[in-house]
Structure 1
Amino acid sequence: MMSRQISVLLVEDDFLIRACLAEYLEECNVTVLEAESCAEAMRYLTSTRGLDAMITDISLPDGNGKALSHEARTLWPDLPVIFTSGHGASLTCLGDALRPKDRVISKPYPMAHVFDALKAVAADRSSH
């Protein structure tokens, strides 16, 4: 059992994936903010306090997860990011966007894998 509630920004343009993952994470006692685009994600990033991580799809309608992670880290320098993608090739383009505590998960994924990754990066974050 986690000692405190984790808070995450979930950026996913596919409504079904986003809704299912958000519901699953909330059942696991995670606070989930949902965004379907980079623009919506940036609104949360500029107005929210206490995020433990961001889960973002790499391909988004108004940009991509790699660029979004760079923008997010101008505001939240040590924010862990869990990148997801249904396109294996796009995972290899992350390069300098990946930090040691980040995770990469290919779609389709068991939702428990995302939760496990989230617990791992949140634990790393709370130990600082």
Structure 2
Amino acid sequence: MHLLVVEDDDIVRMLMVEVLDESGYTVIQAENASAALRILEKPDQALALMMTDVGLPDMRGEALAAKARELRPRLPVLFASGYAESVDVPAGMHLISKPFTIDQLRDKVMAIVGPA
């Protein structure tokens, strides 16, 4: 199962990728929205979930999610934010508050897409 992780902080992204990889998922990384859109625009790239930071340097996570849904209408989206109370999560999308534990991340992803 392929997951797209969009996070501009290299250390946070590395930790998320490591946790999800150890949980059996195949993780594709993007350091910003532009890189994520290049991945999303590849029709042959299977994706079960996009997890994105809300505060990306080149585009807000909500705007990225909207573009992702235009390209892939059924793609689940999980937002990660240190300011969860201020995030307006669109219908059918999910939110995890930073900082989160390894178990919280694993459990949230499994709840959305199922086990790897």
Give TM-score scaled by structure 1 length: 0.82
Distance in 2 (CA, whole Å) between partners of 1:24 and 1:44 is 21
AA aligned to 1:105 is: I
Runs of 4+ in 1 over 3 A off after TM superposition: none
Aligned to 1:98: 91
Counterpart in the other structure of 2:33: 38
1:76 is aligned to: 72
Cα distance in 2 for partners of 1:26, 1:9 equals 12
Where is the helix percentage greater, Structure 1 or Structure 2? 1
CA contact (8 A) 2:84 2:96 kept: no
Mapping for residues 108-123 of structure 1, pairs under 5 Å: 108-123=99-114
**Distance in 1 between the 2:63 and 2:10 partners?**
21
Q: 2 CA distance for matches of 1:18 and 1:54? A: 13
Secondary structure of the residue aligned to 2:95 is: strand
Question: In structure 1, what is the Cα distance between the partners aligned to 2:108 and 2:39?
Answer: 21
Q: C-alpha separation between the residues in 1 aligned to 2:38 and 2:103?
A: 28
Asked if the contact 1:12/1:56 (under 8 Å) is kept, the reply is yes
Give the structure 2 partner of residue 28 of structure 1. 23
Residues in 2 aligned to 1:121 and 1:89: alpha-carbon distance in whole angstroms: 20
Contact 1:58 1:90 in 2 (8 A): no
RMSD of aligned Cα (Å) = 1.3
Deviations 1:1-46 (A, max 9, x none): xxxxx21000011111000110111111110000111000001111
Among all aligned residue pairs of Structure 1 and Structure 2, give the percentage whose two residues are the same amino acid: 38
Worse-matched range after superposition: 41-50 or 9-18: 41-50
Letter in 1 for 2:50: M
Q: Which TM-score applies when normalising by structure 2?
A: 0.90
Shift of 1:53: 0.4
Extract unaligned runs of 5+ from structure 2. none
Give 1:89 deviation, angstroms.
4.1
* Equivalent residues, number: 113
